[in-house]
Structure 1
Amino acid sequence: MSKSLTLSSIALLLACTTPAFAASNVDLTVKGLITPNACTPTLSGGGMVDHGKIASKDLVQNNPTSLPRVTLQLSITCDASIPFAIKPIDNRSGTSTGSSDFGLGLINGNKRLGRFYLTPLNMLADGVSAQPIASVDGGRTWYSERNWELQTLWGAGAVDDATTLLPIKSLVLDLEVGASIARADQFDFSDEAPIDGSATLEVMYL
């Protein structure tokens, strides 16, 4: 026991008396993978949801007003079966009345008009039923998610396994677009106000 303590003390003494030198260099690594496979996403209707003109008097004054839900079909076709995810980008960032939803723009200077959100339905991966899944850690782990939200990646998993992203050649699903206008009594509708929501769905190869 005493010999061990003595050796430890000597080692500690040597460590304390050895001069410390700062490294004069640092490494930087650039990595990636160029894949021969690519995926092409398409949205029916040109990706346009148009609610037309809505009379301000028809908006709920003291609560949000839900707009009719519209369903678009999202198709993603790849050159080969590969794992990929969808990254949502809010092109009106900072204007949503919900932290996980997309914004509808600003009116009256700096007031948030409302929000819209996306719900995946009837998902088919290479013709087989699949379930919508999501990841909050860049695709390392996945979980079942019925409502796709911002700040996550979206993907498709087998109906009996939400923890694994499927490699897919053809993904087809209905994308239900829901929207709501914030309580109307906070806005001045003396002039027409545009509903100005915009999102980008980016395919990421994992």
Structure 2
Amino acid sequence: MKTRLTTLAASVLLLHSATTFAASSVDLTVKGLIVPSACTPSLSGGGVIDHGKISAKDLNPDNPTVIGNHTLVMAVNCDAAIQFALHSVDNRASSGISSSYGLGFINETQKLGGYNLTLANPLAEDGVVVQPIASSDQGNTWFKEKFWDPGLYMSVASMDDDSQPLAVKDLVVDLQVQTFILATAGMDLSNEVTLDGSATLEVKYL
């Protein structure tokens, strides 16, 4: 009996060793797809919105103050019709508020405000009316949406199907930008404060 137990214990030990050895390796897979077409995005006005100088006395101490609504024309021109998404990266994300893009800080600690992006009146080539859609899972699923929150994938779909992006060669869309300053009570506005909003809008091929 002792011999059998010893043999069984040795077998279990060998099995455990084999399992441990197998778990100490992992596979690496590198995937991707080279697409024949390329798309170039552009923004009217050089992509710059300048609010000029704003008096601190014109800002609401108790509620956010909208200081401007601007519309830029965004165009995406591709070599051929292709499915693509527009992805936003808030370069001032640490100063962002909820789903708004950040405007930077006062004295490196107080959040100044933010701005919101909305896609409106999208047209594909030949004046075809399309609708804006969004994806929060990098293009796996889509839903009807016009508000472009930081990090969302935005695309366009046919008017009768908002579940998938449409292959488009040329897209023109109004990029509406609303800028606001947070309630100023408690803000240090004794010196000039620079509005420092910055976002990168990039094309992602689907």
Q: Is TM (by shorter chain) over 0.5?
A: yes
Alignment partner of 1:19 is 2:15 = yes
Tell me the SS of whatever aligns to 1:19: helix
- Report the Cα distance in structure 1 between the residues aligned to 2:59 and 2:25, rounded to whole angstroms: 63
Give the superposition deviation at 1:109: 2.6
- Report the Cα distance in structure 2 between the residues aligned to 1:26 and 1:32, rounded to whole angstroms: 20
* Greater percentage in helix: 2
The TM-score normalised by the length of structure 2 is 0.88
Percent of pairs with identical residues: 49
Q: Which residue of 2 aligns with 1:188?
A: 188
Alignment partner of 1:176 is 2:176 = yes
Moved segments of 4+, more than 6 Å: none
Q: Which residue of 2 aligns with 1:164?
A: 164
Give 1:33's aligned amino acid.
L
Give 2:25's aligned amino acid.
N
- Listed as ranges, the matches of 1:96-107 within 5 Å are 96=96, 98-107=97-106
- Listed as ranges, the matches of 1:61-80 within 5 Å are 61-80=61-80
Q: Which residue of 2 aligns with 1:120?
A: 119
Q: Which residue of 2 aligns with 1:11?
A: none
The TM-score normalised by the length of structure 1 is 0.88
Structure 1 stretches lacking a partner, 5+ long? 1-15
Contact 1:62 1:183 in 2 (8 A): yes
- Report the Cα distance in structure 2 between the residues aligned to 1:92 and 1:101, rounded to whole angstroms: 10
Give the superposition deviation at 1:151: 2.9
Query: How many residue pairs get matched?
Result: 190
- Report the Cα distance in structure 1 between the residues aligned to 2:48 and 2:151, rounded to whole angstroms: 23
Root-mean-square deviation over aligned CA pairs? 1.5
Give 1:119's aligned amino acid.
T
Tell me the SS of whatever aligns to 1:191: coil
Tell me the SS of whatever aligns to 1:202: strand
- Report the Cα distance in structure 1 between the residues aligned to 2:25 and 2:186, rounded to whole angstroms: 58
Tell me the SS of whatever aligns to 2:185: helix
